[in-house]
Amino acid sequence: MEVLGALDVAELAAAFAHLPVFPVFDLGYFVVSILYLKYEKGAVELSRQSPFASWVVAMLYCFGSYILADLLLGEAPIDYFSNNSSVLLATAVWYLTFYCPLNLFYKCVTFLPVKLIFVAMKEVVRVRKIAAGVHHAHHHYHQGWLIMVVIGFVKGSGVALMSNFEQLLRGVWKPETNEFLHMTFPSKASLYGAILFTLQQTHWMPISKDSLIFFFTLFMISCKVFMTASHSHGSPFAPVEGVLCPILFGSVPPGHD
């Protein structure tokens, strides 16, 4: 019975890991990303005054992770934009989010049950990106543990890591903070996820990649759906960090006091 159960989970994980993300899950990713853009102060005014700048920023929100990862690996940062269908889908989502008559699209996707589904879909894409990033970096640098972690981290965090420059495009400048100074949950989770996937890729962690994708996706979905539903900004990593940081760095990370 237990062998059967294990087989089932492995098969389920394998099936899940081979589900194509385009177009359905990517749609969720684009919807949630551009929704977060619309929540930014001044984003709606920007879409009225300068649709071109608004579109450029929206593309950064949707494809920032590819741009950053390609940049770090010395490839063309514009490379992903050769996927015309992805860009078209993201553009459609951007257009509907900002310019749909009666704000209908926005009202639909921010209806909580719908939004939670999209949030879950976004996490599916995020975990896949982390795994693909680590794999891609491993392909270039077989012994480059750190590079694998960095590329996985960047693929998971995306536009957050270049928030200063994304804001600058919108005419906003907040030099006093950035994602490195105050890491949000998705970035931290991407970092820890990238470490896990790097351990898996270099055979230090005895688990199949499919299973890791499956379980890490479950973890991310649970956390993000719970946080979105409860409007919480707490981090599930806080207890561990609260123990480790004082020992390692003689300090308590911000938000723990």
Question: Is 173 among the residues that bind its own copies (CB under 8 A)?
Answer: yes
Q: Residue type for 4, please? A: L
CA-wise closest residue to 69 among 152, 146, 145, 139: 152
Q: Which is nearer to its own copies, 29 or 94 (CB)?
A: 94
Q: Which is nearer to its own copies, 117 or 172 (CB)?
A: 172
- Of the ranges 21-29, 126-134, 168-176, 198-206, which one interacts with its own copies (CB under 8 A)? 168-176
In whole angstroms, what is the distance from residue 99 CA to residue 96 CA? Answer: 5
Give how far the C-alpha of residue 36 lies from the chain's centroid of Cα atoms, to the nearest Å.
Answer: 12
Q: How far is the CB of 167 from its own copies (least distance, A)?
A: 8
Q: Which is nearer to its own copies, 56 or 229 (CB)?
A: 56
Q: How far is the CB of 160 from its own copies (least distance, A)?
A: 14
Write the burial class of residue 16 (CB in 10 Å: 0-12 exposed, 13-18 middle, 19+ buried): middle
In whole angstroms, what is the distance from residue 86 CA to residue 74 CA? Answer: 22
Q: Which is nearer to its own copies, 75 or 208 (CB)?
A: 75
Of 6, 8, 11, 49, the one binding its own copies (CB under 8 A) is 49
Q: Which is nearer to its own copies, 116 or 245 (CB)?
A: 245
CA-wise closest residue to 65 among 55, 83, 77, 76: 77
Strands (DSSP E) contained in the chain are none
Residue position matching structure tokens 């509907």:
96
* Contacts of its own copies in 182-221 (CB under 8 A): 182-183, 191
Q: Which is nearer to its own copies, 57 or 121 (CB)?
A: 57
Question: Is 102 among the residues that bind its own copies (CB under 8 A)?
Answer: no
Of 78, 92, 108, 207, the one binding its own copies (CB under 8 A) is 78
Question: Is 145 among the residues that bind its own copies (CB under 8 A)?
Answer: yes
CA Rg value for the chain: 19
CA-wise closest residue to 121 among 24, 187, 215, 45: 24
Under DSSP, the state recorded for 252 is P
Binding site for its own copies (CB under 8 A): 46-53, 56, 70-79, 81-82, 84, 87, 98-99, 140-141, 143-147, 150-151, 164, 168-173, 175-178, 180-183, 191, 245, 248-251, 253-254
